[in-house]
Structure 1
């Protein structure tokens, strides 16, 4: 087996337009392609970061809720690397998104914080 890199993460939004605005306007991810699949009554939005395909954002009619806090079983969170955590937090706050207090990774000594997308999916800024 030859794994080369993580290709993408798939997210199902309860409110597609709200999540689309969050990921493209708040986090400034690039729209690569948007597809409406009539047979599924579903959108698929391919999003990129710095030219790299990273997220598939889906809509489905009435998706079931899922426990999403970082300590729940399953996918813990999605982390974005940032160069200046305070600047990144301020940018989110100007767009109405609040962050948890900055923490220090006890293993690496690096700073990080959590915030949430419109469906309360835990997202992280990790300063490098």
Structure 2
């Protein structure tokens, strides 16, 4: 019997509202490189494909009229993006120096690893997990 091999995530899709702020955040601050940029007037958006690493991409859909998130953070759907890191203290200091909204470092109650949340220009939560 066939069993699919779903064992890796290819990309994560994020909807943003402001091209300049989102591009500056994801490219200049987080360091993801642009693979492709497509202006799609028929869809009313700009799509940036960003390279996170050799295996993962982020599809950033920039749509100025996108509705706000309904509740925070517990609406149905994906809750947040989590990024693995090896030096959460230095990462936190860097993000703060870039003017990014960052929470305090805390211990994950299940894994006992250090973690924190920071927020993109649309106030979407991103987790750093050590």
What TM-score do the two structures reach when normalised by structure 2? 0.89
- Name the counterpart of 1:93: 96
Aligned equivalents of 2:119, 2:71: Cα separation in 1: 10
Q: CA deviation at 1:6?
A: 0.9
What 5-or-longer segments of structure 2 have no aligned partner? none
Counterpart of 2:21 (choices 12, 15, 18) is 18
Aligned equivalents of 1:68, 1:13: Cα separation in 2: 16
Count, aligned residues: 127
Residue by residue over 1:70-116, the C-alpha shift from the partner in whole angstroms, topping out at 9 and shown as x without a partner, is: 34432111111110000000110110113111110112110000011
Q: What is the RMSD computed on CA atoms of the aligned residues?
A: 1.5
- Name the counterpart of 1:66: 69
What 5-or-longer segments of structure 1 have no aligned partner? none
Residue 76 to residue 109, structure 1, CA distance change in 2 (3 Å) = same
* 2:5 aligned with 1:2: yes
